[in-house]
């Protein structure tokens, strides 16, 4: 097992792993392996877009410290559980708007003390910004229209200026009408206008089709609410 991508992420052969914060437990049926007395959970790029980003070789630079994370669209917590492994000392605020998905997310958070679940709509960051404070990392994976606008609003409300933003853009949730490249270009433009220039753009195929990962920094002082 060798260190890979971010601190707390490991690689063995082509497979990615995180060190299991809850040894003996899988979260979504993923394989666990023990090496030198440490248990790791397999991080499947076909199940998690962040693992797909790493598998594509695009590793976003982290801020010097990660103490607070805002995660929008956590669903059942597949990816969030790996981030919970990666940053055991951080507070991860995981937002999900569907009550059906929120129930398993809540159950997961009961077993992982660094997950703070919020049943909320990511379109209304004013509802949770006081709880979240300033996040070092903003991660968004919501399949709906207006994804770039939602990301920009949340960055303005909750992302620290030196922070990291990762938008997993689901192209076909934005529109069915326009070519994929145009949808991505428009999202990049919207983020740029919001003071969040895109540092890198990575298509997630073959792991996640019709998705592009857009990586930004935190908002510039003039475009933030802080
Ligand atoms: C593709 S799934 C997320 C998968 C998850 N990020 C993972 O990797 O484990 C998208 C989720 O976003 C949620 N969602 C969509 N619109 C949302 C919104 N406005 N606010 C919060 N969650 C939203 C959906 O209910 C769904 O659970």
Work out the burial of residue 94: count CB atoms within 10 Å of its CB; fewer than 13 is exposed, 13-18 middle, 19 or more buried.
Answer: buried
172, containing H or E segment:
helix 171-174
- Per-residue pLDDT of 94-146, as tens digits, reads 999 999 999 999 999 999 999 999 999 999 999 999 999 999 999 999 988 89
Predicted confidence band of residue 226 (pLDDT cuts 50, 70, 90): low
Ligand 1 mean position, distance from CA 75 (Å):
5
Predicted confidence band of residue 224 (pLDDT cuts 50, 70, 90): low
pLDDT surpassing 70 at residue 221 = no
75 CA: nearest ligand 1 atom: 27
User: Does ligand 1 lie within 6 Å of residue 48's CB atom?
Assistant: yes
Torsion angles phi and psi, residue 80, rounded to 5: -60, -35
Residue 221 per-residue DSSP state:
G
- Per-residue pLDDT of 9-45, as tens digits, reads 999 999 999 999 999 999 999 999 999 999 999 999 9
Residue nearest to ligand 1 atom 27, measured at CA = 75
Residue 10 per-residue DSSP state:
E
* Region for 35 from its dihedrals, namely left if φ exceeds 0, alpha if ψ lies in -120 to 50, beta otherwise: beta
User: Does ligand 1 lie within 6 Å of residue 97's CB atom?
Assistant: yes
Residue 223 pLDDT: 62
Ligand 1 mean position, distance from CA 71 (Å):
9
Q: What is the average pLDDT across 85-93?
A: 98
Domains detected in the chain: 44-223 (3.40.50.150)
Ligand 1 mean position, distance from CA 34 (Å):
31
- Per-residue pLDDT of 51-79, as tens digits, reads 999 999 999 999 999 999 999 999 999 99
Single pTM value for the model: 0.96
User: Does ligand 1 lie within 6 Å of residue 124's CB atom?
Assistant: no
pLDDT surpassing 90 at residue 174 = no
Ligand 1 pocket test target in 73, 86, 93 with most atoms within 8 Å of CB: 73
Which residues, other chains included, contact 107 with Cβ-Cβ below 8 Å and sequence gap of 6+? none
Residue 155 pLDDT: 98
Give me the torsion for CA of 69, 73, 79, 82, rounded to 10°.
30
User: Does ligand 1 lie within 6 Å of residue 95's CB atom?
Assistant: yes
């Amino acid at each position: 097992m060798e260190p890979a991508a971010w601190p707390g992420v490991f690689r063995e052969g082509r497979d990615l792993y995180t060190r299991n914060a809850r040894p003996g437990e899988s979260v979504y049926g993923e394989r666990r392996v023990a090496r030198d007395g440490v248990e790791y959970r397999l991080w499947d790029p076909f199940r998690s877009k962040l693992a797909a980003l790493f598998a594509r070789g695009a590793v976003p630079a982290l801020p010097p410290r990660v103490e607070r994370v805002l995660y929008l669209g956590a669903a059942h917590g597949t990816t969030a559980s790996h981030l919970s492994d990666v940053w055991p000392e951080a507070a991860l605020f995981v937002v999900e708007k569907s009550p059906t998905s929120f129930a398993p997310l809540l159950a997961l958070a009961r077993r992982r003390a660094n997950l703070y679940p919020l049943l909320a709509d990511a379109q209304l960051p004013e509802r949770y910004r006081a709880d979240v404070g300033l996040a070092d990392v903003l991660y968004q994976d919501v399949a709906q229209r207006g994804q770039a606008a939602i990301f920009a609003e949340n960055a303005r409300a909750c992302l620290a200026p030196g922070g990291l933003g990762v938008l997993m853009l689901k192209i076909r949730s934005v529109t069915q009408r326009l070519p994929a490249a145009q949808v991505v270009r428009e999202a990049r433009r919207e983020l740029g206008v919001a003071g969040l220039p895109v540092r890198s753009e990575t298509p997630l195929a073959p792991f996640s089709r019709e998705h592009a990962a857009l990586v930004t920094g935190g908002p510039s002082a003039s475009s933030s609410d802080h």
